[in-house]
Structure 1
Amino acid sequence: MSEFVHIVDDDDAVRDALAYLFTSAGHAVKTYASGEAFLADGGVEAVGAAVFDIRLGGISGLELHRQLKAMGSILPIVFLTGHGDVPLAVDAIKSGAHDFLEKPFDDGELLRIVGEALDAAKLARHRQEAETARQDRLGALSERERQILPLLIAGKPNKVIAAELDIAVRTVEVHRSRVLAKMGVRTVVELASILPRSTS
């Protein structure tokens, strides 16, 4: 999936200048004249980072951010603000925006902040993908394997697990092997490192 710097600004001159700045720095860029256009283009699934003017015609940058968050987007947002908008931008940071920059801004500072946002986006995406894979693996476990899993993580020996579940030790050994295989690990230590002790 391609990574872009998504620019949403209703000022044609600012939008073009930002596009030139990021393109010159080697970033792939997509531009939008409104929040509505960004959403219509599948903005909730956008990958990379975004630069929003905090005050847009139509849906505001703040409202656009709220809608994206409500739809589950993890796209990091950098707001461009006027002096009077700084309190709004601070509130946006508290609600999950990546950062804001007050106009007139320094090009180098904006590139640095957006670069950090892109790095944060990659990390968040990798974590999301890892969690999805983990949940898929957990979903592949049988009912008995799900019973044994938390006991394995708790470090209980096979004999103890067998006694607690009233099954044969050999049965525990078989299920233990299957749990490790399905979770994509080789040892119980590895298993515990990818799952919380409270997993049940």
Structure 2
Amino acid sequence: MTTHPEKGGRIFLADDHPAVREGLTLRLLQEGFVVCGEAENRASLLAAIDPSRADIALVDLTLCEENGLDLIADLRARDIPVLVYSMHEDADTVRLALDRGACGYVAKRETSAVLVEGVRDVLAGQRYLSPRVVAALEASPPQATPIGQTGALSEREGQILKRLSLGEGNIEIASALGVSVRTVESYYARILVKLHLDGMKALRKYAIRQFKPD
């Protein structure tokens, strides 16, 4: 565990990339924060979050095969503010994270200074949306989407959903479609938002029902 004089608050990191967590730790320590714990998935977060005494959790929305949106409720139930730090900048994902209880949202393409600003604002009890996130929300007003409406999916999203129904894993799907595993995970996040489903378990069940033989 990294130690540092506590000047700015205790931060828990949830991201499935070790290099990202290392980079965030170094940047946050420079600003006087304490990185009090880290996790790469939901199980490791739930095991470590209570002993960490975190003041805030910085959460990615793609954790291995899991949906980071599920973690928001876990953390809010413990009265821990959540700042989402994600590559997903689309308005639907942002709104879903905020609806789940996130106190702020920072796009990963922002500068580290923007992230630090977001951390400070959320620690101060304020809501924070980074410039790219604000622009995405302004450019895409909310629209109602019927729950489970597969027609809302793109052709590629439909292909991924069908392969998921056949029991294929992320590596198999990525190889078959000629994309990276990370790209497949990004598609999962978008599909979950469009179908209003809570996590990969619900998505797999939906896919199986949708594509089961007549």
Q: State the TM-score, normalizing by the size of structure 1.
A: 0.53
Provide the rounded CA distance (Å) in 1 between the counterparts of 2:12 and 2:112.
16
Query: What residue number does 1:11 align with?
Result: 17
C-alpha contact 1:8 1:38 (8 A) present in aligned 2 = yes
Distance 1:88 1:44 in 2: 30
Q: Distance in 2 between matches of 1:48 and 1:118?
A: 7
2:34 equivalent to 1:28: yes
Equivalent of 1:88 in 84, 93, 116: 93
Match of 2:80 in 1: 75
In structure 2, list runs of 5 or more residues that go unmatched.
Answer: 1-5, 127-214
- CA distance 1:15–1:33, change in 2 (3 Å): same
Runs of 4+ that moved beyond 6 A: none
- The Cα shift of 1:75 comes to 0.9
Q: Percent identity?
A: 23
The structural deviation recorded for 1:42 is: 3.6
Cα offsets for 1:25-76 (capped at 9, x unmatched):
110102222222111014498431111111111442110112333xx22111
Query: Is the contact made by 2:57 and 2:82 (CA closer than 8 Å) also made in structure 1?
Result: yes
TM-score (norm 2): 0.49
Instruction: Show the 5 A alignment for 1:61-140.
Output: 61-69=68-76, 72-83=77-88, 86-120=91-125
Aligned residue identity for 2:99: K
Deviations 1:102-161 (A, max 9, x none): 12121111101101111229xxxxxxxxxxxxxxxxxxxxxxxxxxxxxxxxxxxxxxxx
CA drift of 1:84 comes to 5.5
Match for residue 57 of structure 1 among 52, 64, 83: 64
Q: Shift of residue 91 of structure 1?
A: 1.5
Whichever of the two has the greater Rg, that structure is 1
